Every structure is written in structure tokens, then in C-alpha cells.
């Protein structure tokens, strides 16, 4: 199996002023491609033909394959939820669950921001649905994601410096705050309903 870089559904400059074309070119065009190439190389080395989820859940091959496969999955998930013309508010059952778990959409965003700002080093913040159906925000270091704890990821924030350093330098909080302007809740709702 050969993994390919997924096609972006927007132009590289479409997320400006929140994320610049230069940042997308580096993050999507270089970093994401680097992970895809690494997975293909290691899959070949270990003679594996399985999908990404199987590598991640079963830690097939070697640690480097697990981390690179997880990063391919994480980056496809991250870029998929971004849009220059997003649905700006969740509705329906997803909104009900957010309100149940966090009180309101604003309280949810505040908590997601607080957890995102506090991560030490590289990683991600995730909104996920647990096995009992309730929602949870977690912080995961490096390439990890909540799938390995049987959670269904709904929304993520890439907190590696490569995601924001070009545009925001050390102002991680500004990147996180601006990300809400391009998060497409239509995508998050579809993930929740699946």
C-alpha cells in the first residue's frame, strides 16, 4: 500500500490572515509530505500492507513507523477540518453534547484554549467522544492521538511549532484563538454523526 498526500480542499493562501500561504506550504507541503514518505519507506522495509489505523493501534513495525503513521493520520485530520468558509457554530446533537459536557460553546472553547496553551513541547489538543458517548478534551504529547484509548476524535489543534511559528512565532495563544475562525463545524458534526 502506498500512502499519498491528501489533496487540500483550499488554496494555500485561502486561510489568510489566520494561516499564511507560506505556513501551509511548509506544514502541508513539507512536514506532512515528510511523514507520508517516511511511512511508505518504513512500510516497504517491514513488508507491511495494512492501513494507518492498524499500524497505530497495534504499533506494527517499529516505533518510527508508529509515530510517522500517527502523524500522517493526525495531519489529514487537522487539515480536513480547516476551511476559508467554515460553518462557525455547531448545531444539533453535537451542540447538545458540548453543552452537556462544558456548559456552552464559549466555555468549551475557553477550556480547549486553556489546555492547548498549557501543553509543554510538541503535541495536540483533542476534542473526542469517549466510549460512553460523553465528550472530553485531552492533551497528547508528540504524535499520539486518542484513538489508542478507544476514543473517537472530533477536533484537533496541532501544537507543534511548525504549525504556527511562521505566522505567530512564540505567540501560541494567538494561533489557537485565530484557529476558531477557520474551524469548519460542518466537518466536526460529520465526524460526530459517523
**Which of residues 135 and 143 has its CB atom nearest to Fe ion in the complex?**
143
Residue 126, SS3? strand
Of 5 and 95, which has the nearer Cβ to Fe ion? 5
Q: By CB under 5 A, which span of 87-95, 108-116, 162-170, 177-185 interacts with Fe ion?
A: 162-170
Q: How many residues bind Fe ion (CB under 5 A)?
A: 3
With a CB cutoff of 8 Å and minimum separation 6, the contacts of 106 are: none
Among 158, 167, 184, 189, binds Fe ion (CB under 5 A): 158
CA torsion 47-49-52-54 (nearest 10°) is -90
Q: Is residue 160 involved in binding Fe ion (CB under 5 A)?
A: yes
Q: How many CB atoms lie within 10 A of CB 192?
A: 21
User: Quick one: which of 63, 65, 79 has its CA closest to 31?
Assistant: 79
Nearer to Fe ion, 126 or 160 (CB): 160
Which of the ranges 14-22, 55-63, 132-140, 155-163 carries the binding residues for Fe ion, by CB under 5 A?
Answer: 155-163
> Three-state SS for 151?
coil
Binding site for Fe ion (CB under 5 A): 158, 160, 163
Amino acid at each position: 500500500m502506498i500512502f499519498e498526500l491528501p489533496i487540500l480542499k483550499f488554496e494555500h493562501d485561502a486561510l489568510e490572515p489566520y494561516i499564511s500561504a507560506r505556513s501551509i506550504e511548509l506544514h502541508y507541503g513539507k512536514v506532512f509530505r515528510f511523514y507520508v514518505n517516511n511511512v511508505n519507506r518504513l512500510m516497504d522495509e517491514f513488508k507491511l500492507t495494512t492501513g494507518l489505523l492498524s499500524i497505530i493501534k497495534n504499533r506494527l513495525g517499529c516505533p518510527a513507523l508508529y509515530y510517522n503513521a500517527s502523524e500522517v493520520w493526525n495531519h489529514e485530520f487537522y487539515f480536513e477540518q480547516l476551511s476559508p468558509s467554515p460553518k462557525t457554530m455547531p448545531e444539533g446533537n453535537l451542540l447538545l453534547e458540548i453543552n452537556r459536557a462544558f456548559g456552552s460553546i464559549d466555555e468549551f472553547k475557553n477550556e480547549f484554549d486553556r489546555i492547548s496553551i498549557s501543553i509543554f513541547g510538541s503535541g495536540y489538543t483533542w476534542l473526542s467522544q469517549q466510549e460512553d458517548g460523553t465528550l472530553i478534551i485531552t492533551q497528547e504529547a508528540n504524535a499520539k492521538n486518542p484513538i489508542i484509548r478507544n476514543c473517537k476524535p472530533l477536533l484537533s489543534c496541532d501544537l507543534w511549532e511548525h504549525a504556527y511559528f511562521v505566522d505567530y512565532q512564540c505567540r501560541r495563544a494567538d494561533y489557537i484563538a485565530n484557529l476558531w475562525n477557520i474551524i469548519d463545524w460542518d466537518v466536526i458534526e460529520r465526524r460526530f454523526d459517523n
